[in-house]
A = this chain, B = another copy of it.
Amino acid sequence: MATTQGPRSTATDERGFPRFWDEERETMPRDRRDELVLARIQHQLRYVYDELPFYRRHYDAHGFHPDDVKTLEDFTRKVPVITKKMLVADQQANPPFGSYTPEIPAADLARVHGSSGTSGVPTLYGVSRRDWDRAADVHAMAQWCGGVRPSDLVQVGFPFGLFFGGWGVVQGVERIGAALFPLGVAESEKHLEFLERLRPTVFSGTPSYCMHLISVAQEAGVDLRESSVRTLLVGGEPGGSLPGTRQILEEAWGATLVDAGSTSEMYPFQTNVGCEAKTGTHIISDEVFPEIVDKDDLNVPVPEGDRGAVVYTHLWRESQPMIRFAPGDESYLTHDPCPCGRTYPRLPEGVLGRLDDMLVIRGANIFPSAIETALRSVGGFGPEFEIRVSKRGALDEILVRAEYDPGATAGDAASTEALRARGEATLKRITGIRVPVEVIAPGSLPATVFKARRVVDERARA
């Protein structure tokens, strides 16, 4: 289980390419892999306990010691989880990267990226050179699983900046030796123009962006089914594994959709990846180990196939290793054999939803508390607001309806319009995405309904 420099595979696919990136690793029998995973877990537990104050404090507080883990079940039952909230607090107390990472001299630090996080203050991710190099290989393995080959030309519609998203795609494509066209954020018409001029075989972006391009193409009289794209490599939000979204995208693009994405904290994030058999997302479990546990007690495993909370563990990261990180995802898992030959566990329907109140809107994680912070900072809004979350197709949309403060805002069209604009600008700044605001009259919202919970979730009804 050293870093692969693939492809290493005796089997070949129908195009004559190696079938696997690392055949031995990807097709290993479960019991053999479990042994290796357990050894890595024990290594990581000792490492984080000995070297990283965040984990030492956390484990001591829970009376846990690394020596307590003799089996994989011990791991689930005995190791306390960590959450995003804990990471944010630790990073604020221990800038710039938190005490859950070792001090890394710049010469050993490859990258810094970040997330918009829960409070408007981005969480920073520092990635060591060894981790970054290894991540490139894992991304290559994942993309290879999804069908990317050296003969492909990959057009990327993910942004390149603070967020990991697009950069992981770059890493995998470069390591595979495919051709990369990293157009990134550009006018959708440009993306369409280059689809025609360059004839890429793979398009990579969020499901919602791939969905958006369908509309743009229709308006331009372009039929995406006629395009050269045969694979959509998506991630950044859950849509890609939802049957409805998948069907719409595959039919409109005339392409196979591959969902490949977990969360930024679990970088390399393409450890959840679909294969050509379309049996759900494989989890590269000897890199990022997944557990499905009881959502009310994250130390209790659920029977295989039952729904529960997802908990992830980095088996190889030395920088910012996540050990039993609970992102709040809900899913179920199976080890049933996949026709593709990989023995990794699968999430047959990907990630089903979020357990806590974190909203995922167009790929961004948004907590209601961040919206509250934004509205409160504007001046002119009253105390009451609601966050309406709805589904457009399979993707979530958001609308903030907020009462104006009659003591600060006249309530005529001009003043509420100005307030709306200020609110949206502040929400954009704090959440990183566009959040529409509707300014409503004081007393519009029944305070009793929204006292404890401001989110009106219309998704269940859809």
Contacts and interface: CB of A to CB of B under 8 A. Distances in A.
A124 B161 contact: no
Contacts of A429: 187
A161 B183 contact: yes
Categorize the interface residue count of chain A.
35 or more
Interface in A173-206: 174, 177-187, 190, 197-199, 201
Contacts of A186: 161-162
A54 interface: no
Interface in A70-118: 95-96, 105-107, 109-113
A184 B161 CA distance: 5
A183 B197 contact: no
Nearest to A110: B179
B183 A153 contact: no
Nearest to A176: B107
Contacts of A179: 106-107, 109-112
A64 interface: no
A199 B124 CA distance: 13
A151 interface: yes
Nearest to A95: B197
Nearest to A105: B151
Contacts of A113: 181
A209 interface: no
A177 B112 contact: no
Given A96-B198, A112-B181, A151-B105, A161 B161 contact: no
Instruction: Give the 4 A-B CB pairs with smallest separation, nearest first.
Output: A160-B160, A109-B179, A161-B184, A112-B181
Interface of A: 95-96, 105-107, 109-113, 124, 129, 150-153, 160-162, 166-167, 174, 177-187, 190, 197-199, 201, 429
6 contacts: A107-B150, A110-B179, A110-B180, A111-B179, A160-B161, A167-B182
